[in-house]
Structure 1
């Protein structure tokens, strides 16, 4: 039996009904297998329950409406499966640290659940290419020096990260020797939203330095504050790193009980990183809070 095909059908059924009641038995029926089998297969493939996934996708749909439409919050709440605006507001604030109305006014874009891409590469990655549960720890503050660019990620119609980021690292690596006061042979990729909070992002390729280190021409200084991070290990070629990020945001974050703080994400390139190698390891960390 092609289980992947059945799961895809179930996912498509959910995606078409995010604004209405979704019965798990109907999802399984549309997928062509029993509810028990579908839920068990789904949990094995994604490391989360089908009920959690449906709730998270409807939350993501609500986020999109708050950001891009003028639809009333009450209507959004009811379409998301909540019995009242008050219940929706409580759940929203618990998950994201801000009320729906405040989120709409702030123009702060919450990174959250994308539709899971159930293809062979993604499933293979889940079963060996990423640590499904992260190490959650407090990272001390540090000072970085490096080179910066702006880019659009795979979530944007203007996606250009595949050209912008490799070009940035190619320009930065030969210049690392110019940086005095480096404290470790570890590279950092720092990803954060631009001040305008559009879908354009900023990326910093950098190394850690002493606090009094000079900044070479054409580079910038960046102070990374102390924060609690959930750190995942990405195993394999760097070209598949987006699959790890997709898992973090589309699966783990939704069921973790934690929320993204809107601080910068971090890529950590240590001794286990191998350029252009399937044997490479890179760490990807997101800042989290209760």
Structure 2
């Protein structure tokens, strides 16, 4: 399994365990990397840090629950791995610009890309960027 594949597996793992405590150390250990190398590799592939990615995914899945369930805001916060309603409210408001209750009241429906789709997008982006860089080198050396 190459490093890119391991990052793809990490993305899928994160999505499946958002209600649990996930951090850089536990992920790097699970995928057999040092925390330093895993963080650099993850950030290079995904475009954001492990902590930022986990936070964003938790909020996206909270948005989905707000739009599709009658669960309370506290239940959704706990389902998405937040340990208090206050931490959830603060993070949600910072990222979405409105409170979870207002988000639900306005009837928003999030468009969440799956981990598999995200991996495919990253592969395409990496391939395209590699192709573009390779074309520049070929043209430059011609």
Structure that is richer in helix per residue = 2
CA contact (8 A) 2:18 2:81 kept: no
1:121 corresponds to which residue? 124
1:29 corresponds to which residue? 29
Distance 1:30 1:118 in 2: 19
Distance 1:47 1:23 in 2: 17
**Following superposition of structure 1 onto structure 2, how do residues 152-231 of structure 1 map, counting pairs within 5 Å?**
none
2:138 corresponds to which residue? none
Matched residue count: 129
Query: C-alpha displacement at 1:40, in angstroms?
Result: 0.7
Residues 1:53 and 2:56 are matched in the alignment: no
Distance 2:76 2:8 in 1: 26
Query: C-alpha displacement at 1:2, in angstroms?
Result: 1.5
Query: C-alpha displacement at 1:66, in angstroms?
Result: 0.7
1:72 corresponds to which residue? 72
Distance 2:51 2:17 in 1: 14
What TM-score do the two structures reach when normalised by structure 1? 0.40
Cα deviation, 1:26-62, whole Å, max 9, x if unaligned, reads: 2122223222211111111222111111111111111
Residues 1:90 and 2:83 are matched in the alignment: no
Name the SS of the counterpart of 1:108 in structure 2.
Answer: coil
What TM-score do the two structures reach when normalised by structure 2? 0.76
User: Greater CA radius of gyration, 1 or 2?
Assistant: 1
Listed as ranges, the gaps of 5+ residues in structure 2 are: 133-142
Cα deviation, 1:154-173, whole Å, max 9, x if unaligned, reads: xxxxxxxxxxxxxxxxxxxx
- Runs in 1 of length 4+ with deviation above 6 angstroms? none
Query: C-alpha displacement at 1:127, in angstroms?
Result: 5.5
Distance 1:13 1:39 in 2: 16
Higher normalized contact order (CA 8 Å, seq sep 6+, divided by chain length): 2
Distance 1:93 1:20 in 2: 22
Listed as ranges, the gaps of 5+ residues in structure 1 are: 130-290
